[in-house]
Structure 1
Amino acid sequence: MKLTENTILVTGGGSGIGLALAQEFRKLGNEVIVSNRSQERLKKARAEGFATYEVDMADPASIDALAKQVVADYPSLNGVIQNAGIMQTENLQAGNSQQVQNDTIAINLLGPMRLNSALVPHFLKRDRAFIMTVSSGLAFLPAAMFPTYSATKAAIHSYSQSLRYQLKDTSIVVQELAPPYVQTTLTGEHQASDPNAMPLAEFVAEVMSILKNKPEAREILVERVDFLRSAESKGVDAYYDFFNSFNDQMTSAMAGAV
């Protein structure tokens, strides 16, 4: 992707990684539009000078309305960063995770897919365009206490490959951003100050450096996520040993945080 002269929609752009990316892309001279479900976060984004749109990424009608309105208001739109998402723990023994599962799949997986479907016809008319999906390091090594979140991110990774292949002879570049554990409020306020998480500013700086040096990178992987991305390359037995060790450590860490 070209880092300048774009008009970009950032979903989930009212906080965390989404807002930080919106700020960085605007610094480069891009026109950046922010969407979010939270009115409070949209208000803060507007205070920074961003154009904002309210959207519920779990609602197909809301997504369709967003796409139509943004394209109408910004015919130059040629990029989307699919950052919106939720992450919640689940106890699969309790049998009460259905609502969390429904919401997570709707927002994290179906939402980006629906928005891409709505925007691709417009992007195909542009001389150049890009779609940046946002998966996670947990797409490659799931966190057992976040089973549906991890599953949706694995699905986004798979979907991104198929989308990229189908669009390979068009003007649309498809890139996948796979963050590690970053200091945001995705799982709650505690995460924003967790010393085990990557500082948000450091993460975004590395992402922008990757995009500058490898503008056509299929996967945008900061160094801290490499151990997750390469987990399966260890072989089946070693992978499962690593999976168990990783989740044992995460369970202990979460228990200590409570």
Structure 2
Amino acid sequence: MNISGNTIFIPGSTSGIGLALALELRARGNTVIVGGRRAELLERIAAEHPGIDTVRIDTADAGSIESAAKEVLAKHPDLNVLVTMAGIMRVEDWHRPESFLASAESVVTTNVLGPIRLIAAFVEHLRTRPDATIITVSSGLAFAPLRATPSYNASKAAIHMLSESLRLQLADTSVKVLELVPPAVRTALLPGQETSEFAMPLDEFVAEVVTLLESRPDAREIQVERVKFLRHAEARGDYDQVVATLNAADPHGK
């Protein structure tokens, strides 16, 4: 995708990677709409960053997605980029079904059904734009599992294959499908992750992502260097070693 001149909607961007990316893309000359559940955060973002529009959306709620899509397209008929950023991560202990089932269902609803519903709400409009992009957000954990987060790993593997499949189906349209593959980044996705030495600093991650977007406009995946250890483990033939190393370093492991 071009790095400037777009109108971009990023649901799930009131904090963390989403907000940092929204601000950087705004600075690069894009119109950016931030979406999130909490009205007070949206109000603060709008006040602190004039020029950024905000829309309330709960990506775990199909009705909220439908309403937000109508609002975004009414205000921004030139929308040409959708970033399905919203996601949650939960530590689960599958020895005890009563402890993980509700959590697992929530992860799948937010991380898999959310992006599917978002894309369904916007794809018809995006097909009318001469140059449009859907950016999905998977994870290095789609390719090498973290023991403590089974449902999250599975949800991101699903997003990877969804991205691959949509790219094939939409190849005859103006819509490109680009998959962002983050490593662990210093955000509040899990308790303690914001200060974890294991995680990549947020500003470094976003800077590298934007550089890759700019330098590789025809890329299918955006992979910062730090995620390649996980992303290409199977292809390199060191998958077992990578999984062992990942889980040995995991502060949530048991």
TM-score greater than 0.5 by the shorter chain: yes
User: Residues 45-84 of structure 1 correspond to what in structure 2 (within 5 A)?
Assistant: 45-47=45-47, 48-49=49-50, 50-84=52-86
Whole-Å Cα distance in 1 between the matches of residues 107 and 206 of structure 2? 24
Give 2:173's match in structure 1, choosing from 166, 170, 173.
170
Paired residue for 2:219?
Answer: 217
Q: Is 2:135 the counterpart of 1:137?
A: no
Q: TM-score, normalised on structure 1?
A: 0.93
Q: TM-score, normalised on structure 2?
A: 0.95
Whole-Å Cα distance in 1 between the matches of residues 141 and 246 of structure 2? 11
Task: Kindly state the Cα deviation for residue 255 of structure 1 after the two structures are TM-superposed.
Answer: 6.2
Paired residue for 1:117?
Answer: 120
Q: Measured at CA, do residues 254 and 30 of structure 1 come closer, stay the same or move farther in structure 2, by a change above 3 Å?
A: same
User: Residues 81-120 of structure 1 correspond to what in structure 2 (within 5 A)?
Assistant: 81-96=83-98, 97-120=100-123
Q: Is 2:9 the counterpart of 1:6?
A: no
Task: Kindly state the Cα deviation for residue 144 of structure 1 after the two structures are TM-superposed.
Answer: 1.4
Q: Measured at CA, do residues 206 and 241 of structure 1 come closer, stay the same or move farther in structure 2, by a change above 3 Å?
A: closer
Whole-Å Cα distance in 1 between the matches of residues 103 and 151 of structure 2? 8
The secondary structure found in structure 1 opposite 2:252 is: helix
Whole-Å Cα distance in 2 between the matches of residues 53 and 117 of structure 1? 18
**Which segments of 5 or more consecutive residues in structure 2 lack a partner in the other structure?**
none
Task: Kindly state the Cα deviation for residue 44 of structure 1 after the two structures are TM-superposed.
Answer: 2.4
1:76-96, Cα deviation, whole Å (9 max, x unpaired): 111111110001100000112
Task: Kindly state the Cα deviation for residue 4 of structure 1 after the two structures are TM-superposed.
Answer: 1.3
Q: Is 2:191 the counterpart of 1:194?
A: no
Task: Kindly state the Cα deviation for residue 46 of structure 1 after the two structures are TM-superposed.
Answer: 1.3
Task: Kindly state the Cα deviation for residue 233 of structure 1 after the two structures are TM-superposed.
Answer: 1.4
Q: Is the 8 A contact 1:14 1:44 kept in 2?
A: no
Task: Kindly state the Cα deviation for residue 2 of structure 1 after the two structures are TM-superposed.
Answer: 1.1
Whole-Å Cα distance in 2 between the matches of residues 242 and 8 of structure 1? 35
The one-letter code of the counterpart of 2:35 is S
> How many residues end up aligned between the 2 structures?
251
**Which segments of 5 or more consecutive residues in structure 1 lack a partner in the other structure?**
none
1:40-77, Cα deviation, whole Å (9 max, x unpaired): 32122212222111111111111111111111111011
Task: State percent identity of aligned pairs.
Answer: 47
Runs of 4+ off more than 6 Å = none
Whole-Å Cα distance in 2 between the matches of residues 221 and 34 of structure 1? 23
